[in-house]
Amino acid sequence: MQSVCSPRCAIKAVKAAKAGDKEDRKATKLRIEALKPRGHWLALTQKAFNSYIRARDAGKPCISCGALHYTADAGHYFTVGARPELRFHEDNVHAQCVRCNQHLHGNIALYREGLIQRIGPDRVGALMAPRPAQKLTAEDLKEMRKRYSCLAAQARAD
């Protein structure tokens, strides 16, 4: 226990200790964040992107079956496993009912018809064109996550 000359000095000592603790916690948080693997940021970015897609397509029917009242998934036309470069391509992902996305494995035949109606044959053709592989860094993913979080909030507000 440290002795102090007055209560005022004691208050100053406590505030100084708290300020030091706050800086230590901030530095520790930054070090921990730097140690997180790329997969962690990929998952968080995917979550923000999917949230944006669901907000963007709120009120629209399922892209595959046309159901109006459904629990929405963000369904990919080209799967992430087949075409990872299209994971975050907005034309490749639309709101889809759980039945079509999960139980019917994407319901791809009807998805294509809905996709042509929604974005047009030219954009569907462009989506099918070959693209170079993309390797997003953790920093790229953090920026994308921020962007899609903001877009989701805007879409929900509209």
Question: What pLDDT, on the 0 to 100 scale, is given for residue 64?
Answer: 96
Question: What pLDDT, on the 0 to 100 scale, is given for residue 103?
Answer: 95
Question: What pLDDT, on the 0 to 100 scale, is given for residue 25?
Answer: 82
Q: How far is CA 33 from CA 41, 99, 117, 148, in A?
A: 10, 37, 43, 20
Question: What pLDDT, on the 0 to 100 scale, is given for residue 32?
Answer: 84
Domain coordinates of the chain in residue numbers?
A: 1-35, 37-157
Identify the burial level of 141 via C-beta atoms within 10 angstroms of its C-beta, where 0-12 means exposed, 13-18 middle and 19 or more buried. Answer: buried
Question: What pLDDT, on the 0 to 100 scale, is given for residue 158?
Answer: 85
The total of other beta-carbon atoms located within 10 Å of residue 150's CB is 12
Mean pLDDT for back-to-back runs of 10 residues, the chain (158 residues):
65 72 82 89 97 96 93 95 96 96 96 97 96 94 97 94
Handedness of CA 36, 132, 54, 97 (dihedral sign): negative
Question: What pLDDT, on the 0 to 100 scale, is given for residue 35?
Answer: 85
What are the residues whose beta carbons fall under 8 Å from the beta carbon of 50, sequence distance 6 or more?
73, 74, 93
Question: What pLDDT, on the 0 to 100 scale, is given for residue 87?
Answer: 97
Question: What pLDDT, on the 0 to 100 scale, is given for residue 21?
Answer: 76
